[in-house]
Amino acid sequence: MFFVGFKGYTLTKETRHFLRAIQPGGIIFFKCNIKNKKQIKKIINDINNCLEIKPFIAVDQEGGRVERLKKVCTSVPGLWNLSKVGLKELLQAQSIIAKELLELGFNMNLAPVLDINSNPENPVIGKRAISNDPKIVASYGSKIIKLYIENKIIPVAKHFPGHGDLEIDSHLDLPVLSKSKKELKNFELVPFKYAIKHKVPAIMVGHIQLPAIEKDKNKPASLSKNVIYNLLRKELHYKGLVITDELNMKGVTKNYKLEKAGYKAILADADMLLFNDNEEKTLKVFKYIKKRTTKDRILAERIKRSYERVKQTKKKLLKLLRNN
pLDDT tens column, 69-99: 998 999 999 999 999 999 999 999 999 999 9
Q: Which amino acid is at 207?
A: H
Instruction: Determine the Cα–Cα distance for residues 79 and 90; give it in Å rounded to an integer.
Output: 7
**Could you tell me the pLDDT band of residue 123, with boundaries at 50, 70 and 90?**
confident
Q: Which amino acid is at 179?
A: K
193 pLDDT higher than 70: yes
Domain ranges of the chain: 9-323
**Which tens digits make up the pLDDT trace of 20-75?**
999 999 999 999 999 999 999 999 999 999 999 999 999 999 999 999 999 899 99
Q: Which amino acid is at 293?
A: T
Q: Are 164 and 115 within 8 A, CB to CB?
A: yes
**Could you tell me the pLDDT band of residue 186, with boundaries at 50, 70 and 90?**
very high
Neighbours of 295 (CB within 10 A): 8
115 pLDDT higher than 80: yes
**Which tens digits make up the pLDDT trace of 259-301?**
999 999 999 999 999 999 999 999 999 999 999 999 999 999 9
Rounded to 5 degrees, φ, ψ at 201 are -80, -20
Residue 321's pLDDT is 58
Q: Are 245 and 220 within 8 A, CB to CB?
A: no
Instruction: Determine the Cα–Cα distance for residues 242 and 216; give it in Å rounded to an integer.
Output: 21
The crossing angle, in degrees rounded to 10, of helices 87-104 and 134-150 is: 40
Q: Are 268 and 192 within 8 A, CB to CB?
A: no
**Which tens digits make up the pLDDT trace of 127-183?**
999 999 999 999 999 999 999 999 999 999 999 999 999 988 899 899 999 999 999
Helix, strand, coil share (%) of the chain residues, nearest 5 = 50, 10, 40
Q: Are 137 and 191 within 8 A, CB to CB?
A: yes
**Could you tell me the pLDDT band of residue 252, with boundaries at 50, 70 and 90?**
very high
| Residue 275, CA distances (Å) to 1, 18, 27, 58, 120 in order | 11, 13, 9, 12, 29
Q: What is the DSSP string of 119-184?
A: -TT-SSSGGGSS-SSHHHHHHHHHHHHHHHHHTT-EE-EEEET--TT-SS-TTTS--B----HHHH
Neighbours of 85 (CB within 10 A): 11
Mean pLDDT of the chain: 95
Nearest to 159 by CA among 70, 254, 75, 62: 62
CATH number of 9-323: 3.20.20.300
Mean pLDDT of 306-317: 90
Strands 66-67, 61-63: pairing is antiparallel
Residue 317's pLDDT is 78
Tell me the pTM: 0.96
**Could you tell me the pLDDT band of residue 324, with boundaries at 50, 70 and 90?**
very low
101 pLDDT higher than 70: yes
